[in-house]
């Protein structure tokens, strides 16, 4: 049971109030029609599954209903920081930081 700081509410809240959405920083390609099937497939389906630091998109579903980014350790479950969509967070040499959040992980069905 995580204790998560919602960057919009500016409060720590119980994990019960949140949903994990998936890997963060996967912006929708600006011109989908120009992409090959393989490129589109990579965008749709391929995700990182690191042991260690990971960037995830979460939503304060039973709270402010805002989506935000979580930098956390998938091994220790430590949360390093949470930050708003559109913001970046540099935790050192981290190539994932940057870009915006992503809607992609919330797929149909």
Smaller CB separation from another protein, 66 or 94: 66
CB of 95 to another protein, least distance (A): 20
Question: Which residues sit at the interface with another protein, rule CB under 8 A?
Answer: 1-3, 14, 21, 27-28, 31-33, 35, 37, 40-41, 44, 57, 59, 61, 65-67, 73, 75-79, 85-86, 100-104, 106-109
Among residues 51, 44, 8, 7, which one has the least CA distance to residue 26? 44
Smaller CB separation from another protein, 64 or 94: 64
Q: What is the DSSP string of 39-79?
A: HHHHHHH-----SSEEEEEEE-TTTT--EEEEEEETTT--E
C-alpha to C-alpha distances, 54 to 11, 25, 31, 38, 77, nearest whole angstrom: 22, 11, 27, 25, 10
CB of 51 to another protein, least distance (A): 12
CB of 106 to another protein, least distance (A): 5
């Amino acid at each position: 049971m995580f204790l998560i700081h919602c960057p919009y509410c500016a409060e720590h809240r119980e994990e019960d109030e949140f949903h994990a959405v998936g890997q963060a920083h996967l912006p929708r390609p600006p011109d989908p029609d120009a992409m090959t099937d393989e490129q589109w497939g990579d965008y749709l389906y391929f995700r990182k599954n690191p042991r260690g630091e990971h960037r995830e998109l979460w939503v304060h579903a039973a709270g402010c209903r805002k989506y935000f980014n979580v930098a956390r350790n998938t091994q220790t479950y430590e949360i390093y920081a949470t930050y708003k969509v559109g913001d970046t967070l540099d935790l050192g040499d981290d190539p994932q930081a940057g870009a915006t959040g992503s809607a992609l992980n919330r797929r149909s069905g």
